[in-house]
Amino acid sequence: MDNVGIVVADIAAAIDFFRELGLELEGRATIEGEWAGRVTGLGDQCVEIAMMRTPDGHSRLELSRFLTPPTVADHRNAPVNALGYLRVMFAVDDIDETLEKLLKRGAQLVGEVVRYKDAYRLCYIRGPEGLLIGLAQELS
């Protein structure tokens, strides 16, 4: 897998939030023109993107803010059992410390932090713009 794409309204806030999770901004660009619209099927488009890289360098998150055409649907507050893409899960070293930092940035805990056997501590949060994000701390 090369990357996961997320469409946001406030790209700067999303970049700051994912930096707090340890991702590094790899680059920002504005993508526009007929060629880009042929890929997405949107025709003439203009989109600002930010590519974020995970600390291990193996995965990336592409944040996109569409300038034209405007966004047409909003799935940010869909419940966990909604059809389609659910969430992005991040492995963290200390779930309590990470959660404390993210709550200061406006994240909201969806349920509670739970322990799964002696393997993981897990939780879901709503991050920037209501995006559903999972946190997992391995206990071994």
Q: Give the pLDDT score at 100.
A: 96
Neighbour count for residue 112 (Cβ, 10 Å): 8
Q: How far apart are CA 107 and CA 99, in angstroms?
A: 8
Q: How far apart are CA 123 and CA 95, in angstroms?
A: 8
In this predicted structure, the answer to whether residue 77 has a pLDDT above a threshold of 80 is: no
Q: What percent of the chain lies above the pLDDT cut of 90?
A: 70
Residue with more model confidence, 131 or 120: 120
Q: Which residue has the tokens 């989109």?
A: 47
Distant-in-sequence, close-in-space partners of 77: CB < 8 Å, separation ≥ 6? 126, 130
pTM beyond 0.75: the answer is yes
For range 52-75, the mean pLDDT: 91
For range 112-123, the mean pLDDT: 95
Q: CA nearest 64: which of 33, 30, 38?
A: 30
Q: Which residue has the tokens 């700051």?
A: 16
In this predicted structure, the answer to whether residue 83 has a pLDDT above a threshold of 80 is: no
Positive or negative torsion for Cα 128, 48, 37, 58: negative
